[in-house]
A and B are shown apart, each in its own frame.
Chain A
Amino acid sequence: MEHLNYKHTARARATGEKKQALVGVVASGNLEVLVERVLPGNECEIEIRTAAEGFGEVWKEVVADFVGRRSPGGLKFSINDGGARPDTVALRLAQAARALEGDGT
């Protein structure tokens, strides 16, 4: 099991009021993302636990791309990974950020 941790400073604080959201499931080729609005200012942290070791560079790029696109300031993402591909990871991160914004109803 590999533990990875990335810290970024986002352009802006994430919008919405929800405190936390969970998307995905820990299954082969899939992952779960727990996102919590717990960090001050524009800080953003992504913590990853993955069974697929040796892909730190790919995670780093996917995470940096996500932070650049979504500006998830104030959010902590905790990931349990079941060997998801980078596109699935990007999708789940975006889904988690969207879930935290709330559905507006």
Chain B
Amino acid sequence: MSAASAATRIDDALAQSWYEASARQRVDALLDRGSFVEFIGPERRETSPHLPLFDLPEQFDDGMIVGRGRIDGASILIAAQEGRFMGGAFGEVHGAKLTGLLRAARELRTPVVIAFDTGGVRLQEANAGEMAIAEIMRALLEARLAAVNVIGLVGGRAGCYGGGGLIAACCSALAVSEQGRISVSGPEVIETNRGVEEFDSKDRALVWRTMGGKHRRLIGGAEIFVDDTVASFRAAAIALLAGAVTLTRATLLAEQARLEARLDAFGDCADALDIWRRLGIADAASVPAMSYGEFDALGARIVEVIHDAR
């Protein structure tokens, strides 16, 4: 293959949709070409011990890819969830791979990038999955206390729900695309538990403006809003990795104060549209249809998103 056609192919790869890409394509696109070294790869066949009990097919990597590589020349550890396998859900092996990676990050003092794509805990191995979430959160916070940056990227098919939403909230910083959704209880869970009057999970516009990337960006739930390309996510990861690393008692107190202030300011709002209007966006109804460029310019003007509590 000629150098010119190889370069064209790399450009094509970077223009690819993050939402459409597989977990392995995301890892390859994020990292410097050829630098990825996988830990516990598919050839090890470390599959779920629980799924066979339910006569369900396994996946050789259990839907979690972990390893090391370089991004813009710098060494990082990386994890990516495959949202199409079991909805990217956390099981025992899937979770243990991320726990191990985060513990290694603390020991090695190497930053971590996590490409989330998850509906939460895998119901077939719920106890093991819930424990994995707790272990991951502990390992993540211990890494951050050792001054290791942990960056989360959200823009996949499954969004970032359940325990994944909790882990994302523990990260040093997040980048989210319009397609990314971050929450704990998903739309159908809320509807099932509280009724359709509380939340209509079939109302896609409602789901997106309540949990989607634009809303998360506007209320300060994500540091960077990115376009849905692997190149944009790579640029965001590089920018966030360069950010300050702080997790101290003062950080947590600042975050608590920020969340209390947010509740005071918007606690009576019935809909994201009310929040956006109160943030000073006159034509709030136009936000969902805004292009990446239009929204990015708007986001830069909104005070709520500028903070570094976390």
Contact = CB atoms under 8 A, between A and B. Distances in A.
Nearest to B52: A1
Most B-side CB within 10 Å, residue of A22, A51, A78: A22
A93 B55 CA distance: 24
B6 A26 contact: no
Interface string B142-180: 000000000000000000000000000000000000000
A34 B43 contact: yes
Interface of B is mostly: loop
A50 interface: yes
Interface in A18-41: 20, 22, 25-27, 30, 32, 34, 36
B43 A26 contact: no
A8 interface: no
Most B-side CB within 10 Å, residue of A26, A32, A103, A104: A26
Interface in A52-87: 78, 80-82
A25 B1 contact: no
Contact of B57 (A36, A78, A81, A105): A81
Contact of B58 (A20, A25, A49, A103): A49
B57 A51 contact: yes
Contacts, number: 47
A81 B59 CA distance: 9
Contacts of B45: 78
Interface string B32-48: 00000000011101000
Contacts of B24: 22
Contacts of B55: 1, 51
B130 interface: no
B60 A25 contact: no
B46 to A, nearest CB: 13
Interface in A89-105: 103-105
Given A1-B52, A27-B85, A105-B1, A34 B60 contact: yes
Contacts of A20: 41-43
Nearest to A30: B84
Nearest to A24: B22
13 contacts: A1-B57, A20-B41, A22-B61, A25-B84, A32-B59, A34-B42, A49-B57, A49-B58, A78-B60, A81-B57, A103-B1, A104-B1, A105-B1
Given A36-B43, A80-B60, 16 more contacts: A20-B41, A20-B43, A22-B61, A25-B59, A25-B85, A26-B85, A30-B84, A32-B59, A49-B57, A50-B57, A51-B57, A80-B57, A80-B58, A81-B57, A105-B1, A105-B6
Interface of B: 1, 6, 22, 24, 41-43, 45, 52, 55-61, 82, 84-85
| Minimum-distance CB pairs A-B, first 5 | A26-B59, A27-B84, A25-B84, A104-B1, A105-B6
